[in-house]
Amino acid sequence: MTTFAKPAIKPARPEFSSGPCAKRPGWTPEQLKNAVLGRSHRGKPGKARLKAAIDQTRIVLQVPDDYLIGIVPGSDTGAMEMAMWSLLGPRPVQLLAFESFGKDWVTDVTKQLKLPDVQVLDAPYGALPDLTQVRPDADLVFTWNGTTSGVRVPGADFIAADREGLTLCDATSAAFAQALDWPKLDVVTYSWQKALGGEAAHGMLILSPRAVERLESYAPAWPMPKLFRLTKGGKINAEIFEGATINTPSMLCVEDYLDALLWAKDMGGLEALRARADANFAAVEAWVARTAWVDFLAEAPETRSNTSVCLKVVDPKITALPADAQADFAKKLASLLEKEGAAYDIGGYRDAPPGLRIWCGSTIETADVEALTPWLDWAFSTVSAELAAA
C-alpha cells in the first residue's frame, strides 16, 4: 500500500459541512452591523429588510415574476411540511425516495397525513428511481438534490409540461448551485444554512400560480396548525409573501442571508454561483479519477451532485470487512481529518452507506477543495496502516 506523507498545506477554510454550510468567503460578524435589532419585525425597518430578502432572492435565483416567495419558520423542513399539509389531498400522490429526506416526506404523507392514493418510487442510496413512472395526473413530491446520497435529478424532463398535478420540490441543497426548471416546479423549498451558508431555522417557500390556485380552491380535511396556514378567508395570505412572517424571525439571520445574497449578486449571480460549485466538484472528480480507493456514491455520472458530494471507500481490503467495521473505518477517516484541522464534518450521513461527504457548494473555494484531496489520501493511508497493524 502506498504511504502518503502528511501534506504541508491545509485548506484555508476547512469547513466542508453539508449543513450548516460554510459562510461566504470574506464573511465576518461585522457584516451584520445593520441588522434591525431590538425592534419589531413588523415595524417598517424590520419588514423592509424581510422584503429586501425576498426581492434579492427573486433576482439571484431568477424566480419568475408571477411566483410568490415567502420566508417561513422551521428551515427547509418547515417549508416542505407547510406545502404538503396545505396542498396534498385532492389528487393521487407520488413520492421519489432515494435518500433520507425524501424518505421523511414519505413518512409524512403515508403515516401522518395518511392519504389513500400514494405511490412511492424508491431507489437505494446512489441511484434514482425510475423517473418514467412519474404520472402527470398525480401530485409529485421529490428532492432535486439528495443531500445525504449525493444524487440529483439530471433535469426536469421527466415532469410533463401539461401536467395536471402539482410538483413539490425540496431544493435545499440544489438552490444557488443547480439549474432549477421553474416552469416544471410548483413549490420550491430550501433553507438558508444550506444554500448560501446562512444561519439556521428559516425556510423559503416559493409558489407557482398553479400552487396558489390549489390553495384557494382546496381546503384540507385535517386541522391546520397556525404555522402552516397560508390562506385567510379562502384566499392566499399575500402578506406572508411581502415580508409579514407567520412567526418572529431572527433579524440577525435575515441580515446574514441578505449579506449572502448581495455577495452572490456581486459575484455574477446564479450563473457565477453554479460555476463555482461546478469547479469545486470538478476538483473532487479529478481526484477520484486518479485514486483507486474511492469512488462516488452516485452511480451514474449525470446524477452526481455538485454540492453534497458523497464518496464511498472501494478498496478491496476495506470492502471485505463486516459492515460495522467499514462504518468504523469511514468514521476514523473523518475524525482524523478533523483532528488535523484539514476538514470538519465530512463524515457520511448516519443513514447512508459508510463514506465521506464533502460540501462543494458556491461558498466553498476551489483552492480549498484542491488542498483537501492530499489530506484525504494521507488519512486513508494512515488509518489503513493502523488497521493492518491491529
Q: DSSP per residue over 69-110, as a string?
A: EEEEESHHHHHHHHHHHHH-SSS-EEEEESSHHHHHHHHIII
- Among the candidates 237, 265, 293, a domain finishes at 265
Q: Kindly report the length of the chain.
A: 390
In a domain, 13, yes or no: no
How far the first Cα of the chain sits from its last, in Å, is 16
Question: Which of 170, 248, 255 has the alpha carbon at shortest distance from 206?
Answer: 170
Distance CA 269, CA 5 (A): 40
Please tell me the predicted confidence (pLDDT) of residue 195: 82
Q: Are 188 and 178 in contact (CB under 8 A)?
A: no
pLDDT in tens, 331-387: 999 999 999 999 999 999 988 888 999 999 999 999 999 999 999 999 999 999 999
**42 part of a folded domain:** yes
pLDDT in tens, 234-282: 999 999 999 989 889 999 999 999 999 999 999 999 999 999 999 999 9
Q: 15 lies in a domain? A: no
* 156 and 123 part of one domain: yes
Q: Does the residue 3 lie in any domain?
A: no
245 and 124, same domain (yes or no)? yes
Is residue 286 pLDDT above 80, yes or no? yes
Kindly report the CATH number assigned to the domain that includes residue 34: 3.40.640.10
Identify the pLDDT of residue 2.
67
Strand intervals (E) in 98-186 = 118-122, 139-143, 145-146, 151-152, 167-170
Please indicate, yes or no, whether residues 236 and 286 belong to a single structural domain of this protein. Answer: no
User: What cell was used for 69?
Assistant: 416567495
What predicted TM-score, i.e. pTM, was given to this entire model? 0.96
pLDDT band at 109 (very low <50, low <70, confident <90, very high): very high
Q: Is the residue at 20 inside a domain?
A: no
Same domain flag for 196 and 327: no
Please give the residue range of the domain that contains residue 306. 269-389
pLDDT digits (tens, 9 = 90+) for 45-64: 899 999 999 999 999 999 99
**pLDDT of 7-42, one tens digit each?**
999 999 999 999 999 999 999 999 999 999 998 898
Q: What is the gyration radius of the CA atoms in the chain, in angstroms?
A: 22
**3-class DSSP state of 56:** helix
Residues 234 and 289 in one domain: no
Reported as a single tens digit per residue, the pLDDT across 85-98 is 999 999 999 999 99
Closest CA to 245 of 108, 85, 84, 79: 79
Residue with C-alpha cell 449543513? 19
CA atoms within 13 A on the CB side of 353: 18
User: How many other C-beta atoms are found inside a 10 Å radius of the C-beta of residue 249?
Assistant: 21
The CATH number of the domain where 372 resides is what? 3.90.1150.10
3-state SS, residue 364: coil
> Are 364 and 274 members of one domain?
yes
123 in the same domain as 247: yes
- Pair 151, 53 in one domain: yes
**Residue 348 belongs to a domain:** yes
Question: In one letter, which amino acid is 354?
Answer: P
Question: Which are the contacts of 377, defined by CB distance < 8 A and separation ≥ 6?
Answer: 4, 291
What does pLDDT average to over the chain?
96
Residues 245 and 295 in one domain: no
Within-domain flag for 116: yes
Choose one of 265, 299, 328: the last residue of a domain: 265
Look at residues 218, 237, 265 and tell me which one is the last residue of a structural domain: 265
pLDDT category of residue 311 using cuts at 50, 70 and 90: very high
Instruction: Report CA-CA distances (Å) from 76 to 98, 232, 281, 312, 350.
Output: 18, 23, 24, 27, 19
Domain count for the chain: 2
Cβ-count burial of 29 within 10 angstroms (0-12 exposed, 13-18 middle, 19+ buried)? exposed
The residue with greater pLDDT, 106 or 201, is: 106
Indicate if 243 and 327 belong to the same structural domain. Answer: no
201 vs 191: CA distance, rounded Å: 8
- Whether residues 260 and 286 share a domain: the answer is no
DSSP class of residue 347?
Answer: B
> Is there a cis peptide before residue 20, judged by omega within 30 degrees of 0?
yes
Please check whether residue 215 is in contact with residue 84, taking contact to mean a CB–CB distance below 8 angstroms. Answer: no
pLDDT-based confidence at residue 291 (cuts at 50, 70, 90): very high
Classify residue 246: in a domain, yes or no: yes
Percent of the chain with pLDDT over 70: 99
Which of 32, 49, 381, 112 is CA-nearest to residue 244?
49
The verdict on 257 and 274 lying in the same domain is no
